[in-house]
Amino acid sequence: MSSNVLALYRKFERMPAGRWLFSRAVCLKAPYFASISPRFVSLQPGRCEASLRHRRRVTNHLGTVHAIALCNLAELTAGVMTDATIPPSMRWIPKGMTVEYLKKATGTMHGIATPDIPVVEAASGYNLPVSVVVNNDAGEAVFRARIAMWVSPRK
């Protein structure tokens, strides 16, 4: 990723199949996320929404969306939101994640990431907590995560 992720999203968003193309570009840069085949729905400073379809490759033995697929969606949305939000002079890396599984995850999952505190430019590094809620098609929260992002000046 780079601090130009928001500009790239806005460029792709105007094209036919642009959000799909943006999703593929993100997965080329961070290949592991391709395992959940995410689709970005919206991106703006301070908010990112992406979805993942419930399909066999993300299904567990109970027939629900696998816990790690939900974690991947959370980390993806939090990372892209952070990248689109921090000043270009800053960089980020996830330091930790706590999660809560609230109910069975079936159907398309919709992850929404937002920062818990204002994002600032700083002379030294700081912790940026990011909240992610994942809802099912009915709008019910099935999963919550809080991801600790370490934001620091670029070298």
- Encode pLDDT of 48-64 as tens digits: 999 999 999 999 999 99
Tell me the β-bridge partners of 97: 147
Task: Dump pLDDT digits (tens) for 15-73.
Answer: 999 999 999 999 999 999 999 999 999 999 999 999 999 999 999 999 999 999 999 99
Distance separating alpha carbons of residues 71 and 88, to the nearest angstrom: 27
For the beta carbon of residue 107, count every other beta carbon within 10 angstroms. Answer: 15
Q: What single letter denotes the amino acid at residue 30?
A: A
Residue 4's pLDDT band, with cuts at 50, 70 and 90, is confident
Residue 79, SS3 per DSSP: helix
Give percent of the chain with pLDDT exceeding 90.
Answer: 95
pLDDT greater than 50 at residue 107? yes
Query: What pLDDT does residue 3 have?
Result: 57
Q: Which domains does the chain have, with CATH numbers?
A: 5-153 (3.10.129.10)
Q: What single letter denotes the amino acid at residue 22?
A: F
CA dihedral defined by 6, 9, 11, 14, rounded to 10 degrees?
-130
Cα distances (angstroms) measured from residue 62 to each of 25, 58, 100, 112? 32, 11, 18, 25
Query: What pLDDT does residue 69 have?
Result: 97
Average pLDDT, the chain: 95
Tell me the β-bridge partners of 94: 149
Angle at 81 between CA 80 and CA 86, to 5 degrees: 105
Query: What pLDDT does residue 155 have?
Result: 84
pLDDT greater than 60 at residue 121? yes
Distance separating alpha carbons of residues 99 and 106, to the nearest angstrom: 17
Query: What pLDDT does residue 81 have?
Result: 97
User: Sheet harboring 47-52: ordered strands across?
Assistant: 39-44, 47-52, 109-115, 126-135, 141-153, 90-101
Query: What pLDDT does residue 1 have?
Result: 44
**Does this model's pTM top 0.75?**
yes
